[in-house]
Structure 1
Amino acid sequence: MRLKKCLLIAFLLPFVAVAQKGATTYPVKDLHVKWTFKEHQNRNKQSLSLLTFINKAAQPFPAANWSLYFNSMKEIEVKTSDQLIIEQVNGDLFRIRPGKSFKAINKGDSVILDMVALDEIVNFADAPGGLYLVWDNQPDKGLKIEHYDVEPVEKYLKNVVSPLDTYNRNSKFIPKDKKTLIKLLPTPVFYEARPGNFSVNAVTSINSDPAFRNEAEYLSNELFNLFKIKLVVSTGASKEKSIQLVKNNLPEDEYQLEITAQSITLSASNATGIFYGLQSLKSLLLANSPVKGAKTVLVSNVSIKDAPRFKYRGLMLDVARNFHPKEEVLRILDLMALYKLDVFHFHITDDEAWRIEIPGLPELTAIGAKRGHSLTNENALQPAYSSGPDTTEVLNKAFYTKADFVEILKYAAQRHIEVIPEIESPGHARAAIKSMDTRYSRFMAKGMRAEAEQYLLRDINDKSVYSSAQYWNDNIVCVALPSVYTFLNKVTESLQDIYRQAHVPLKTIHFGGDEVPQGVWEKSPLCLELVKQAKMKSTDDLWSYYVSKLQSMLKPKGIVLSGWEEFGMMKTYLDGHKLMVPNPLFANDPVQLDVWNNVIGGGTEDLPYRLANGSYKVVLTCSSNFYLDMAYNRSLTEPGHYWAGFVNMEKLFSFIPYDYYKNAKENNKGEPVSRSVFVGKDRLTDFGKSNILGLKAALWTEKISNTELLEFMLLPRLVGFAERAWAADPAWALEKDSVKSEAAYEDSYTDFKTRVGLIEFPKLDQGGWNYRIPPVGVKVTNGEIAGNTEFPGFNIYYTTNGKEPAVKDKLYTSPIKEKGVVKLRAFNAKGRGGNTTTVQN
């Protein structure tokens, strides 16, 4: 599901300087560090990057008595030499210590560390982060390296997306005429534009069926928030120039929207259908600008009949790896509502943090939500994902209180969005384990053994050796411990209480289940005793035992078990090699599986279909197309992971849920995929189709530490996802003739891109969303520079003086003939710019 072990970094340090004592007098603020990518080696199986230390203090940087800590999502080689000692602390935290021959760094001198990686580096997010220094005589105090620069040198990279590649890709699509476009995404089942418009102003009223009173109030509030127009809501007889919410006999969640010059009539059989119609109305209103000088908004006359394709249209947001505040979560719920998504999968716990308050277990947030430099993990978890050493920083101690969570639940419910909390187990549980260790120590110090062991999550005598996908060696709960189930029951009942306070039903809890590494439980006395007593064959059988225990806990509470695909898998062996296959034991249970591991070229391309064919209820959470933490393309300046491939807008739009092999054009390395990859792979049967609940996009945040980057990774790709989750199966997906299918696809995608550029981006601008503005594609021909953008609607500005382009600079209107270094940059209507493209003419 996430980044796998793929990189080994070796540091070689030829320090030449003078020894210095009195380490703690050195001003750490004057130590500057720079990371630079250098080159790929050994046919891209290795990469060389440089870590440069520059001493800008008046005194030498000392030769001894210090440790430099940093986070790296790439595994680092443990190394000991006379010059340098490199150690892994745990997880992604590493430490460099000076060897006995290490020399001090004099004022003004610099030292370069060669960083050799046994894999390629693709973008700047591969750089180490979170650097801090610790003096030996102050081991509890971490001092942040304030001056750390990541300086990618793109010219050294091979096989990257060039400005010419971007230009040629953009040139394939000629925008459609805006007048012919549907002004609404996701695309409705039926849409007919008609002449004229309806005027929404202060005299307009909302007349609603009593069953839709809440939705009417929502509309009134939204119109005020967006346009400062406050409409009165009534349940009386319909009036002229009114917005009417009418109850009818349409199938569940479907709606009809009729806009004429006299009235707006929205009808549906249930409140959810009405709400979706309101989102279409809101979207159509946002497509028009308010009348200048008057509190009036015109909305074009139209007839719409619409219904969702899939019942389950979800977004998963990870707030454990990097926290994102409640206000941003509410903002994302509004975005989901606008694009008619209805399931919010809230990833609130993981190895690196526990983000929700649980009454009676204060350690979960007092310890599990706090990150910073720690020798014991008793007062805080260690830094992770470049979080730094300071436990007092807001994001290093952040979590959602009960009141926060209740507010989120109510906000989501008003928008007809179900919130599914995820409590990671039995793996990815380090934050919970360390929190309960602290609780254990606290009660044991008081001689209260029973209380200490009540919620203990690990076998304290376990000697098992393992390393998780993120390099943790202590992140798996002991499934043989009764206290583990006491803990999980406590958390479950606390969540039930929170949902009750919000007056929202708790239908399912996602209990994780992914990435339990080889080696766990094998040397745990408690686990081995359970295996013996239950007459299991090996510790491998403990997996099914654990799933059964979860089911026995949840079923009496009326809660459905959700989890990652591993909850539907079991371990077996083929020719002595481990093999994961669908587990028939739980296939007929109400288990919902989010299946992510269909990496194209990874060997499990058909896993979602195999599980659905095997009777499991499956949500297609395919990393190949729906993992929004993947980089947009293969460029050093594009943030994100890439282990599952590169995910641009087209990857989401082109996804065919019932046959995604058909439109899979790239493997996980961004290379053209051979059709032989799918030979022998299971295809989705008609029975399997009945087990596909829907689609889910996922945004993991290992590399996303602020809301601006969060929105950059989310948009506009979420619009492409919403189109595929809501809209009917397009004709090009069903067409069997490959030539006709490709032609229909190109036309459809051109239409979609035009609508996103000319209609959706202005809507997102009104909401202040930091969506990704594409870099300018460039082609140089006979001394002339031509530029274009992926989507229409952007202005291109350029400079020839070496400075970054701004809206005050030259506007690109025709090919540029000026010589020298030319920088081009696309800007939206609000004056916000994308990444700069630099060319030599």
Structure 2
Amino acid sequence: MFKLSISAAAIAGLLASGAAFAGQQTVDQISQLAVNYTINDNHAGANGVDCAALGADWASCNKATITLTNHGAAITDKDWAIYFPSIRQILKIDNDQFAVTHIVGDLHKLTPTDKFTGFPAGKSVEIPIVNEYWQLFMTDVIPRWYVTSGEATPKVIASTNSEDLSRFVSPLGGDQWKRTPEDKNILMTAEARFEKNSDVKLLNARNLRGQILPSPSRVTVHGEDVDLSHGVKLDLSALTAPSARAISDRFALLGVKTDGSYPVKTAIAAREFKGDDAVPGAYRLQIGPKEARITGYDEAGVFYGLQSVLSLIPTQGAMKIATLDAEDAPRFQYRGMFIDVGRNFHSKASILRALDQMAAYKLNKFHFHLTDDEGWRIEIPGLPELTEVGSKRCHDLSEKTCLLPQLGSGPDTSTNGSGYFSKADYIEILKYAKARHIEVIPEIDVPAHARAAVISMEARYDRLMKEGKAQEAAAYRLLDPTDTSNTTGVQFYDRTGYLNPCLESSRHFIDKVIGEIQQMHKEAGLALTTWHFGGDEAKNIYLGPGYTDKNKPEAGKGQLDLSKQDKPWAKSQVCQTMLKEGKVADLEHLPSWFAVEVSKIVNKHGIEKMQAWQDGLKDAKDASAFATKRVGVNFWDTLYWGGADSVNDWANKGYEVTISNPDYVYLDFPYEVDPQEPGYYWGTRFTDERKLFSFAPNNLPQNAETSVDRDGMTFAAKSDKPWPGAHGISAQLWSEVVRTDDELEYRLFPRLIAMAERAWHQAGWEQPFQAGKEYQGGVTHHVDTKALHQDWERFANLLGQRELAKVDKTTLAYRLPVPGAQVAAGVLAANVSLPGLGIEYSVDGGKQWQRYQDNARPQVSGEVMVRTVSPDGKRTSRATTVR
């Protein structure tokens, strides 16, 4: 007789494996649901929804519907959860079969309630929700929703697994693109673009002869041309070998042989430069019929002079450049580009491509935002958890192996939510930048926006405690375990989003990180001269002005129980001890106090300058409060909210002010007011090349006369205070909704070229600052708008006829402007904001495309599609329709 014996453990294992199988079956089924997200009402507060009672900031909320359609077999299992990203807080759900829970950051969880009746076969289930604020662009909806069930492997819902948001997001209809019913912005339809573009004409190529970008201070163009078809003979003895290679590579890229016969000679002779021209980067360029000569104030000047020769090189026809004499010097010594790789990682290759373009247009500061709540992106020897945990995002609810998914990264590490630069990568980037005369400014953002570091150091703490190394475990811990503060950061992280500034271990951590990054700079052969502290947004958003206590409500504000809200670190015993001892005045002063403490560490490392976002230093007396020789701020107040005046305060306190304000130089914002255009838009609804070109960075009030506020309305600006002048200007690209390298490049280019023009060259239409002088759109007329228009027309033609063809020779996925079009009496007329770019049209829904010729406008009927085509014919813009 045979006897079968099965242990209890084996039975449990079988049951678990059965449950896991059932859970995986549910995950697989739900992952095939068709998701649709529809924005129904962006003015919900005006249409019967009590946004204030729901706790919405400034009582502003919107209505949307999530529709889940099951094309497969019925699903009745209740053991599942759909995790989905939402940059808007979900205030209410109007389907009692489901519940929505906020996890952390933008991560939410949709789960069934006891009333859940299933996903019937062939049926749709609608889940109406109310969100905070509004959703005006499709990129407010984030992809890669995923489903889990017990121990089953999480799976992305297939219909959301795309950067093409139109696969699951409905187009915004009616006036849903307006922030409020009173919104005065202009929706960019084909007809609206046509009208906007109509004042910019195509210039004859002869009108662009001898034009250099960015524009020189002084240039005289002569009548004779030089033919470079036989190549140049470059004398690069004034450059280091890496810089010489960078220049030679650029000549080769543009099709100019460097073993030719036309001599290009270079020299450094600082003594020949006087007055305003005697600054780093200044150069003189003489292009004669027999040879070209470049004299630089320094090596950077020689490099920029050679870039000016490259700027002149045509991209079609005979390879001839004008003879000319130019005297040139940079307007600002800080001409910057900022890239955030914390929110979403961007590859080393994309960074190197961006550095190439910076060099081509004489930008010289690369502000590298290496860390944020969502990711730590640089290897730090001795602190492996920073990259082993903090550089990865995946579905680990314990966050012991990775950070939780954010911003569409999905449940595993296969997307750009994960990634980091090794020490070797960073050194390579440093060397590449140095060869192009670009300083890399690393930013490790503290004390807020520090969650990736905090969670990583908690993982380190747990590991070493298990090994019995308590003292070593505590050495770099960034959380005070006594701190139970209920606080919420700007992007909805809890207290784990804030490094605790009161801990000695936090200062040890900063010291360690600075030292290791400084060593990388040394190994790259250059000094670390500027350290960026970050410092921004160390606050609880629910204690901001848009909220009110529900027990004493104020009209027009979100109602919350403010007694349950804490300032950051309010319940940290370490911080409370510091307050009692008088080391810091109050909780509000902690971020600025910490900035001073970090400046001491920066100075100890021999680093000359510390830089920060200006709000991180707001409670310090002035620049003299810091230990470093120089202190810089990135100024990021919007002009229409008072920034045209408050900027003076920073300069007058001795800070080196780098103009970085969102309403002009945040390049993650949309190019135009069109829901299909990607980007954040809290500071402005659009920033195109023309707006950026028209920016006056050294007289901020002037911009009130040439632009509008976020709602498309004119505003007034002035300052009665002295203005010592800006130290520089920087273009910012934050990466919350910039997930891929292609998306990064689309946002940066060609707008960055317009920013470079303003960074290098002060135009004649820019007025000098005058205390007390007020500017207001439609009211004052101080700016010479005719001169501004002529200057823009020249620049726009240079981009359309010459510069973008050069960008085509790279692999950059730059943006092509969507064309304007109208049909009158059956005739199609089309134009483009950058004249010289080709336009195509289709009368059969995009099956066949024909080249549009303005001198032979075609007869059309019905719906017509138009799009812009790149100079090399390989890429096209988004298509638009016109009737």
Fold conserved between structures, TM > 0.5: yes
Pairing 1:534-683 to 2, within 5 Å after superposition: 534=582, 536-559=584-607, 560-570=609-619, 586=625, 590-645=629-684, 646-664=686-704, 665-675=706-716, 678=717, 682-683=719-720
Q: Which moved more, 1:243-252 or 1:65-74?
A: 243-252
Does residue 169 (structure 1) correspond to residue 211 (structure 2)? The answer is: no
Deviations 1:178-230 (A, max 9, x none): 21224321111122333344344777433355566654444334334543734
Distance change (3 Å), C-alpha of 1:116 and 1:372: same
Deviations 1:84-119 (A, max 9, x none): 111110111000110101111122211122233343
Partners of 2:425 and 2:876 in 1: how far apart? 34
Deviations 1:48-83 (A, max 9, x none): 3332211122x2123410001011111122669741
Pairing 1:140-219 to 2, within 5 Å after superposition: 141-148=153-160, 149-156=167-174, 157-159=176-178, 160-181=187-208, 182-200=210-228, 204-209=232-237, 215-219=243-247
Q: Which moved more, 1:361-370 or 1:144-153?
A: 144-153
Q: Which moved more, 1:308-317 or 1:595-604?
A: 595-604
Q: Which moved more, 1:84-93 or 1:727-736?
A: 727-736
Q: Secondary structure at the match of 1:198?
A: strand
Counterpart of 1:577? none
Partners of 2:427 and 2:336 in 1: how far apart? 20
* TM-score, normalised relative to structure 1: 0.88
Q: Secondary structure at the match of 1:346?
A: strand
Letter in 1 for 2:817: P
Q: Is the 8 A contact 1:209 1:247 kept in 2?
A: no
Partners of 2:618 and 2:455 in 1: how far apart? 28
Does residue 532 (structure 1) correspond to residue 534 (structure 2)? The answer is: no
In the TM superposition, residue 795 of structure 1 has moved relative to its aligned partner by 2.3
Partners of 2:498 and 2:695 in 1: how far apart? 35
Q: Is the 8 A contact 1:63 1:102 kept in 2?
A: no
Q: Secondary structure at the match of 1:738?
A: coil
Letter in 2 for 1:821: E
Distance change (3 Å), C-alpha of 1:330 and 1:221: same
Partners of 1:81 and 1:158 in 2: how far apart? 26
Q: Is the 8 A contact 1:786 1:814 kept in 2?
A: no
Letter in 2 for 1:112: E
Q: Is the 8 A contact 1:568 1:593 kept in 2?
A: no
Letter in 1 for 2:34: H
Does residue 695 (structure 1) correspond to residue 720 (structure 2)? The answer is: no
Distance change (3 Å), C-alpha of 1:489 and 1:834: same
Does residue 710 (structure 1) correspond to residue 770 (structure 2)? The answer is: no
Partners of 1:118 and 1:435 in 2: how far apart? 31
Partners of 1:185 and 1:760 in 2: how far apart? 9
In the TM superposition, residue 513 of structure 1 has moved relative to its aligned partner by 0.2
Q: Is the 8 A contact 1:367 1:379 kept in 2?
A: yes
Counterpart of 1:406? 427
Does residue 279 (structure 1) correspond to residue 307 (structure 2)? The answer is: yes
Q: Secondary structure at the match of 2:145?
A: strand
Q: Is the 8 A contact 2:537 2:616 kept in 1?
A: no
Does residue 818 (structure 1) correspond to residue 857 (structure 2)? The answer is: no
Q: Secondary structure at the match of 1:663?
A: helix
Pairing 1:762-801 to 2, within 5 Å after superposition: 762-801=805-844
In the TM superposition, residue 542 of structure 1 has moved relative to its aligned partner by 2.4
Q: Secondary structure at the match of 2:215?
A: coil
Counterpart of 2:182? none
Distance change (3 Å), C-alpha of 1:728 and 1:839: closer
Deviations 1:513-566 (A, max 9, x none): 000013101100111012112354432332343122112211122212111102
Distance change (3 Å), C-alpha of 1:535 and 1:283: closer
Q: Is the 8 A contact 2:91 2:130 kept in 1?
A: no
Letter in 2 for 1:373: H
Partners of 1:33 and 1:259 in 2: how far apart? 61
Q: Which moved more, 1:630-639 or 1:21-30?
A: 21-30
Q: Secondary structure at the match of 1:220?
A: helix
Partners of 1:669 and 1:628 in 2: how far apart? 15
Q: Is the 8 A contact 2:600 2:626 kept in 1?
A: no
Q: Which structure 2 segments of 5+ residues have no match?
A: 1-20, 48-59, 161-166, 179-186, 541-566, 774-779
Q: Secondary structure at the match of 1:456?
A: coil
In the TM superposition, residue 461 of structure 1 has moved relative to its aligned partner by 1.4
Q: How many pairs are equivalent?
A: 785
Pick the aligned partner of 1:464 from 477, 482, 485. Answer: 485
Partners of 1:609 and 1:205 in 2: how far apart? 49
Partners of 1:459 and 1:80 in 2: how far apart? 39
Pick the aligned partner of 1:685 from 716, 722, 725. Answer: 722
In the TM superposition, residue 468 of structure 1 has moved relative to its aligned partner by 0.5
Q: Secondary structure at the match of 2:727?
A: strand
Q: Which moved more, 1:783-792 or 1:517-526?
A: 783-792
Does residue 349 (structure 1) correspond to residue 349 (structure 2)? The answer is: no
Deviations 1:337-373 (A, max 9, x none): 0000000000010000000000000100000001011
Q: Is the 8 A contact 1:212 1:245 kept in 2?
A: no
Counterpart of 2:354? 332
Q: Is the 8 A contact 1:595 1:618 kept in 2?
A: yes
Partners of 1:225 and 1:674 in 2: how far apart? 45
Q: Is the 8 A contact 1:592 1:619 kept in 2?
A: no
Partners of 1:375 and 1:402 in 2: how far apart? 29
In the TM superposition, residue 41 of structure 1 has moved relative to its aligned partner by 3.2
In the TM superposition, residue 667 of structure 1 has moved relative to its aligned partner by 4.4
Q: Is the 8 A contact 1:63 1:105 kept in 2?
A: no
Partners of 2:94 and 2:831 in 1: how far apart? 52
Partners of 2:249 and 2:177 in 1: how far apart? 52
Q: Secondary structure at the match of 1:650?
A: helix
Counterpart of 1:51? 66
In the TM superposition, residue 388 of structure 1 has moved relative to its aligned partner by 0.6
Q: Is the 8 A contact 2:191 2:820 kept in 1?
A: yes
Q: Secondary structure at the match of 2:100?
A: strand
Q: Is the 8 A contact 1:309 1:725 kept in 2?
A: yes
Letter in 2 for 1:616: Y
Pick the aligned partner of 1:523 from 541, 549, 571. Answer: 571
Partners of 2:104 and 2:268 in 1: how far apart? 59
Q: Is the 8 A contact 2:74 2:118 kept in 1?
A: yes
Counterpart of 2:557? none
Distance change (3 Å), C-alpha of 1:75 and 1:111: same
In the TM superposition, residue 279 of structure 1 has moved relative to its aligned partner by 0.9
Does residue 426 (structure 1) correspond to residue 469 (structure 2)? The answer is: no
Q: Is the 8 A contact 2:231 2:257 kept in 1?
A: no
Distance change (3 Å), C-alpha of 1:186 and 1:461: same
Pick the aligned partner of 2:103 from 70, 89, 108. Answer: 89
* TM-score, normalised relative to structure 2: 0.84
Deviations 1:258-309 (A, max 9, x none): 1223112111231010010111112222x24486xxxxx5433222221101
Counterpart of 1:17? none
Q: Which structure 1 segments of 5+ residues have no match?
A: 1-20, 233-239, 292-296, 571-580
Counterpart of 2:559? none
Q: Which moved more, 1:550-559 or 1:533-542?
A: 533-542
In the TM superposition, residue 759 of structure 1 has moved relative to its aligned partner by 1.8
Q: Secondary structure at the match of 1:34?
A: strand
- Counting aligned pairs with the same residue, the percent is 30
Runs of 4+ in structure 1 off by over 6 angstroms are 809-812
- The CA RMSD measured in Å over matched residues stands at 2.6
Deviations 1:229-277 (A, max 9, x none): 3439xxxxxxx84221123222232111112231121112310100101
Partners of 1:274 and 1:666 in 2: how far apart? 37
